[in-house]
Amino acid sequence: MPEFNKLSAELMFGSGSPAIKESRVVTVQCVSGCLSLRVGAEFLAKHYHRHVVYLPEPTYGNHPNLISAAGLTLKTYRYYDPKTLVLDFQGLLEDLGSALTGAIVLFHACGHNPTGVDPTCQQWEQIRQLVRQRGLLPFFDCAYQGLVSGNLDDDAQSIRMFGCDGGECLVAQSYSKNMGLYGERIGSLSIVCKTADVARRVESQLKLIIRPLYSNPPIHGAAIVTAILKDRDLYKKWTNELKAMRDRLVQVRRQLYDSLCNKGTPGDWSHIIKQVGMYSFTGLNKDEVDFLTREYHIYMSSDGRINIGGLSSKAVPYFADAIHDAVLSSLPSSTLA
């Protein structure tokens, strides 16, 4: 659906994007965010000179599978400091500064999964300058636009910084979360090229890659997205609901933080309200996670990651009680005494 592609690119880069006006952006409909990433990886494996991709440490669990399946080599760059529970910005700059010239770098556009830790706009600008200086190729995964700040434009700022500087970049886009269309498998891949001629060539090569992968994407999800994006009233209703969803995530974070503070749970829990988006690294270790499962029948990944969207306000007191007990159980007996 050409209209879907056009509207999706404008949502990502902005309707006034110089790259769009100059016909330097090519967008193809894909099967949600995962195959948007896979199609992009296949394209780079066939047509890009450097077959090395740097992933943030940690990253979405399926990223290594999707990227390596195309035959690309994986490396990592520092992103999250598990000791301080914040962005390891200096480590990030050092690792990208020493990365192979021309290498591909995967970025989470907003709402980093699994940490919930994002760079600031000022930090993104430093990252952009370093990426361009080093001749690196940015590849964005954008799965949570609108769910981080509640504003679609603000959540796309990292991408727009790169999209308007005249350089190249790739963006995998998903509507699974921000439109609740997970089961429809609807997303897109956009590539910003240096010229309109290159963009036309890239589009033809993307079609050749897509044909043997899944031939054609399903139409229903694309029709829903298109109907919403092109209708002013539907678009306004959607953005209002998106803001309400985001506000609930913030409220649940605050409720959990307040509950732990009121209980006097040992430790600093401010990272819960500093993190953004759908996910949070709670800071719980494997033994504490095992305690939650064994004693409270609460299940999460062993690294302590939770989906804030799956936590209701009603369940927060029970969850806070469980965390409190789990932390106390892991303290040395001398500390408790």
* pLDDT at residue 131, rounded to an integer: 98
* pLDDT at residue 148, rounded to an integer: 97
* pLDDT at residue 333, rounded to an integer: 63
Q: What domains appear along the chain, each with residue ranges and CATH number?
A: 2-230 (3.40.640.10), 248-330 (3.90.1150.10)
Long-range contacts of 309-315 (CB under 8 A, 24+ apart): 309/245, 309/249, 309/278, 311/252, 311/256, 312/252, 313/251, 313/252, 313/255
155 neighbors 148 (Cβ within 8 angstroms): yes
* pLDDT at residue 171, rounded to an integer: 98
Q: How far is CA 121 from the centre of its chain?
A: 16
Pull the structure tokens for residue 208.
């050749």
- Site of tokens 């892991």: 330
* pLDDT at residue 337, rounded to an integer: 47
Segments of the chain scoring below 70 in pLDDT: 333-337
Q: How far is CA 35 from the centre of its chain?
A: 15
